[in-house]
Amino acid sequence: MGSDTRAARIELGGQGTIPAEFRYWDKIDDADVQRARRALKRVAGFDPQPSEELVRAFAHAYYDADPVAETFVDEVYLGEIGPKRGREMLDLALERGIDAVPDAPASMMRLFEEFESTPEWLDPAQVALGAKVFRRWGTSVFAFATTSTLEMYSESSIAKPLSYTGAYTGERAHKRQLETVRFWIDVSDPGGLEPGGRGRQTAMRVRIMHVFIRRKLMQRPEWELDKWGVPISVGDATLTLMGGSVVPGLALWSLGYQTTRAEIEATLHFWRYVGHLLGVQPDWYPRDFAESVQLMFAAFVKRAYTAGADGAELVESYLPAFAPTPGSGWRKRLRDEINYRIQIGYTGFWLLPATYNRHRMPRRLPWVLHPLVQAPVIFGMETARRLIPGLDQVADRVQRRRREHWYRNEIGDRNAEFQPVEEFRR
């Protein structure tokens, strides 16, 4: 497909273009789908099937990307200034503000004007509460969020970018997974999203990295725009935000975490603001718990299951990335052996059995029992946290230390780089 045709196709994004593999309308009337709808309606107390308006907005968003950041990359990184100086300018603006950058180009001024603006819908108290709830889930949410992504590797729009870059396969998988964990820690730490905060800086670096990956993928003839939309689209990116909010908010009850509906809605708001900083700014973003469940219902119904071997490779690369490596001291080796089996247990517990059994995966037993064994302990601690004054703050400090300790055990003294892959493996 020629570049002019691709550009025209993207331009139609909000005006009626829908990827061929967005199969919602082909499947919504299936008997199994409607049975699941009725069952969810009885449990939730509302209809999980979203409005036609929401589904169409979601589908069109597969042709929406980040034009503000892309214009900046074109003018600065790919223009006369060049990538080295462009990175220096970006770092300076993140650390000291855009006014500290002499002769900042117009595209950079526009990018930071948007980045530093306060959206009309922003509620700082909800953002702070949502970040605190995310911290309270500790390292459990790291395992769950990744496991929920494994389930979506059946979709080409998600799996193909990762497969083509090789970022989440083989030896690279561990590094990229831990960069994601670093991102989660940075944005949810207290003050992380404030001006100059580490999470805020990380969000911008990830945003620019996504532009580079999207550009490279769009230049490849095997990228099927008509079927998948643009790489790292607003549609798929919004689902990623759901994977840090409503989905773990519900699923982690299975481990004993007592997350209320109001707290889930706070995490929705928190991740909406993170998305704003990342350039993911759909006006149809769910406003409450019911709308978020409806969006996830649409996301599961629309699946096309076409990723094939690329998706399978990603699923099967996840757990081996945590396997202990030779040459470590005995203490680290012991921690790594334990953590590896914990990851097997979480993945075997949360990943749909049909998905787990369809791939080459480690034996689940007995490690799959680990989440069940710890659930009563976590439930008891959660009950104490809710009832005993002051314990909530203690729990927050403990979980923050645990997250950082877990990350450092995995990555050592290295820092996350958030650099795009320079060369695709195929």
The predicted-structure confidence for 309-352, as pLDDT tens digits, reads as follows 999 999 999 999 888 888 778 888 898 899 999 999 999 999 99
How many CA atoms lie less than 13 Å away from 140 in the CB half-sphere? Answer: 25
Q: What amino acid is encoded at 8 in this protein?
A: A
Backbone angles phi, psi at 284, to 5 degrees: -100, 10
Q: Which residues contact 180 (CB under 8 A, 6 or more apart)?
A: 146
- Which amino acid is it at 35? R
Higher pLDDT, 277 or 149: 277
- In 3-state terms the chain splits into helix, strand, coil percentages (rounded to 5) of 70, 0, 30
Q: Lowest mean pLDDT: which of 3-12, 70-79, 102-111? A: 3-12
Give the pLDDT band of residue 416 (cuts 50, 70, 90). Answer: low
Instruction: Kindly state the percentage of the chain with pLDDT values over 90.
Output: 79
Q: Which of 233, 320, 215 is nearest to 278 (CA)?
A: 233
Please, which pLDDT band fits residue 170 given cuts at 50, 70 and 90? low
pLDDT classification of 177: cutoffs 50, 70, 90: confident
The pLDDT score that the predictor gives to residue 324 is: 87
* pLDDT tens digits along 107-128: 999 999 999 999 999 999 999 9
Rounded to an integer, what distance in angstroms lies between the CA atom of residue 93 and that of residue 144?
34
For residue 296, give the nearest of 339, 336, 242 by alpha carbon. Answer: 242
Judge contact between 143 and 343, C-beta under 8 A: yes
Please check whether residue 288 is in contact with residue 139, taking contact to mean a CB–CB distance below 8 angstroms: no
Q: CA angle 264-184-214, nearest 5°?
A: 105
Q: What is the pLDDT of residue 168?
A: 64
Question: How far apart are alpha carbons 333 and 327 in whole angstroms?
Answer: 9
Whether 419 has a pLDDT exceeding 80, the answer reads no
Mean pLDDT, residues 195-207 taken together: 94
Residue 420 reports pLDDT greater than 60: no
Rounded CA-CA distance 371/387 in Å is 24
CA torsion sign for 229, 230, 234, 236 is: positive
pLDDT at position 125:
97
pLDDT exceeds 60 at position 426? no
Looking at residue 175, its pLDDT comes to 79
Q: Two tokens at 368?
A: 């799959």
- In this prediction, residue 423 carries a pLDDT of 47
Other CB atoms within 10 Å distance of the CB of residue 56: 17
Whole-number pLDDT of residue 302: 98
At residue 414, does pLDDT exceed 80?
Answer: no
pTM score: 0.91
Q: Determine phi and psi for 8, rounding to 5 degrees.
A: -65, -40
Considering only CA atoms, which of 306, 305, 302 is closest in space to residue 55? 302
Tell me, what's the pLDDT at 15? 44
> For the chain, what percent of residues have pLDDT higher than 70?
91
What does the mean pLDDT of the chain come to?
91
Is-cis flag, bond preceding 286, omega within 30? no
More confident site: 174 or 132: 132
Least confidently predicted of 90-104, 220-234, 399-413: 399-413
Is the pLDDT confidence value at 1 over 70? no
Q: What pLDDT score was predicted for residue 14?
A: 42
Give 16's pLDDT tier (boundaries 50, 70, 90): low
Contact criterion met (CB below 8 Å) for 124 and 266:
no
pLDDT of residue 53: 96
Residues 6+ away with beta carbon under 8 Å from 95:
196, 201
Average pLDDT of the segment spanning 299-308: 97
Per-residue pLDDT, averaged over 188-217, amounts to 94
Is residue 399's pLDDT more than 80?
A: yes
